């Protein structure tokens, strides 16, 4: 088989039917380019959401939830058939969300080899007051150094410094949205009221932004001692223990180990905390795969139809080639080369167009609205996506061209020449 001759014949066939060749090439081009745009955008969105979630989520969280009593008051009232009982506002069984021996537990966990760091926390709902404005929010008491080491809080500061929390006993940093709602800036003072009615005035020493509007509008941080003082609790009062691991994929396994050692507390790993995000990611991946496969399949059918038409139009040429000594395998190779030329040319141009569209999307302003503070659409430019696009295009065109090529190799030249 003379591959150079076969390639020359294939090119000649493509050039003589320019319109058909261009249409087939455009099908591959747009299929590959849309595949690149979709997968780049979808993986960009997934990566953005995952980064947002993991930046602010511990791998394992230990807490003590406040729950309604298991035993209902109504069950103690009797079982008379002619009696009705109505109970309102049943109180939770735990008045405090305190983790018993929380600091000791944190120290013990921090010594485990699988653990990268531990940050104890006191968290409570409060009201921020600035004149007549009363804003519901969450205040978290933190060990500043440990919290920063695990969650990079200092890198999220828009104004002021995280270290300023350590300089005073009545200081607080606010989320960007919360500071705007309260109408305060760095250096201003704001009143804080707890659900129990305790009131204290704190100085705003910093403003941070996570980029997630719901957090920036409701989150604030102070030192452990400050929040314990606000809540009128002792220095051992801890409501949460946040844990970061060396390998986040071992979170479920380590959570089970900790739960066996500490049956009196509740544990939540990052997968449980971000279940909705992970479910959305799976759905987006499935949608991307289905749409991408459909686009390439349509392009493949286009090549298949055009190659079939090409064979019909080239019946006499095929007969002459066979009559001059070309074998069935040679004819198959010629038409396979035609489809591969279409696939490779369309695929390479599709990669270029896909990259261009992806780049334009990545610089397009993103209307984040009330969910995220992000300036442009999140897009990933990963080499494996482009390699995958070329492979998909190559395989699609190979299969699309194989069956028409096989059909061409079986043509009987005697029947064609006799008419």
**What would the two tokens of residue 57 be?**
């989520």
HSE on the CB side for 67, CA within 13 Å? 9
Domain residue ranges of the chain, discontinuous segments joined by +: 3-54+277-418, 60-70+92-269
Helices and strands (DSSP H and E) totals, the chain: 14, 10
Task: Report pLDDT for 72.
Answer: 55
Task: Report pLDDT for 303.
Answer: 72
- In whole angstroms, give the CA distance from residue 187 to residue 176: 15
Four-residue CA torsion sign, 215, 218, 222, 228: negative
Q: What percent of the chain has pLDDT over 70?
A: 90
Confidence tier at 4 by pLDDT (50, 70, 90): confident
Q: What percent of the chain has pLDDT over 90?
A: 37
Find the mean pLDDT for residues 234-257. 93
Q: For residue range 368-403, list pLDDT tens digits in order.
A: 655 666 778 889 999 998 998 888 778 877 887 788
**Residue-wise burial string across 332-343, b where 16 or more C-beta atoms lie within 10 A, e elsewhere:** bbbbbbbbbbbb
More confidently predicted of 131 and 67: 131
Stated as kind and residue range, the H or E segment containing 349 is helix 328-362
- In whole angstroms, give the CA distance from residue 124 to residue 193: 11
Is the predicted pLDDT of residue 293 greater than 90, yes or no? no
**What would the two tokens of residue 138 be?**
């969450």
Find the mean pLDDT for residues 67-95. 57
More confidently predicted of 213 and 97: 213
Q: For residue range 154-174, list pLDDT tens digits in order.
A: 999 999 999 999 888 899 999
Task: Report pLDDT for 2.
Answer: 73
- In whole angstroms, give the CA distance from residue 151 to residue 93: 33
Question: 175 and 218 in contact (C-beta within 8 Å)?
Answer: yes
Confidence tier at 28 by pLDDT (50, 70, 90): confident
Task: Report pLDDT for 79.
Answer: 54
Confidence tier at 202 by pLDDT (50, 70, 90): very high
More confidently predicted of 323 and 109: 109
Task: Report pLDDT for 419.
Answer: 59
More confidently predicted of 404 and 377: 377
Stated as kind and residue range, the H or E segment containing 161 is none
- Poorest-confidence range of 103-112, 221-230, 270-279, 361-370? 361-370
Is the predicted pLDDT of residue 251 greater than 80, yes or no? yes
- Residue in 36, 59, 74, 3 with CA at minimum distance from that of residue 295: 36
């Amino acid at each position: 088989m003379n591959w150079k001759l076969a390639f020359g014949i294939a090119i000649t066939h493509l050039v003589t039917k320019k319109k058909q060749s261009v249409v087939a090439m455009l099908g591959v081009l747009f299929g590959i380019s849309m595949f690149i745009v979709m997968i780049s955008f979808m993986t960009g969105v997934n990566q953005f959401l995952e980064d947002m979630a993991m930046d602010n989520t511990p791998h394992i969280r230990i807490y003590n939830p406040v729950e309604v009593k298991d035993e209902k008051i109504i069950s103690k009232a009797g079982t008379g058939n002619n009696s009705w009982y109505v109970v309102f506002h049943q109180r939770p069984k735990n008045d405090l969300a305190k983790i018993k021996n929380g600091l000791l537990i944190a120290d013990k966990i921090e010594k485990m080899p699988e653990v990268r760091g531990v940050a104890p926390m006191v968290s409570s709902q409060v009201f921020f007051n600035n004149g007549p404005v009363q804003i519901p929010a969450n205040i978290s008491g933190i060990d500043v150094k440990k919290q920063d080491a695990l969650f990079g809080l200092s890198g999220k500061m828009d104004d002021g410094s995280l270290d300023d929390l350590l300089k005073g006993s009545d200081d607080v940093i606010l989320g960007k949205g919360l500071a705007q709602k309260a109408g305060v800036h760095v250096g201003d003072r704001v009143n804080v009221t707890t659900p129990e009615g305790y009131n204290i005035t704190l100085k705003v020493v910093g403003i941070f932004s996570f980029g997630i509007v719901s957090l920036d509008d409701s989150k604030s941080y102070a030192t452990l001692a400050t929040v314990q003082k606000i809540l009128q609790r002792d220095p051992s009062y801890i409501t949460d223990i946040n844990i970061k691991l060396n390998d986040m994929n071992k979170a479920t396994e380590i959570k089970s180990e900790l739960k066996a050692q500490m049956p009196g507390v509740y544990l939540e790993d990052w997968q449980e905390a971000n279940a909705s995000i992970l479910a959305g990611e799976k759905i987006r991946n499935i949608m991307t795969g289905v749409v991408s496969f459909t686009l390439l399949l349509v392009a493949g059918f286009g090549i298949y139809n055009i190659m079939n038409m090409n064979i019909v139009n080239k019946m006499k040429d095929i007969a002459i080639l066979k009559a001059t000594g070309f074998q069935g395998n040679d004819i198959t190779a010629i038409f396979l080369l035609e489809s591969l030329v279409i696939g490779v040319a369309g695929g390479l141009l599709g990669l270029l167009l896909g990259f261009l569209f992806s780049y334009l999307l990545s610089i397009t302003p993103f209307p984040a609205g009330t969910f995220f503070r992000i300036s442009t659409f999140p897009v990933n430019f990963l080499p494996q996506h482009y390699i995958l696009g070329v492979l998909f295009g190559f395989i699609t065109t190979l299969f699309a061209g194989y069956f028409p090529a096989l059909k061409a190799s079986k043509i009987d030249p005697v029947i064609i020449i006799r008419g």
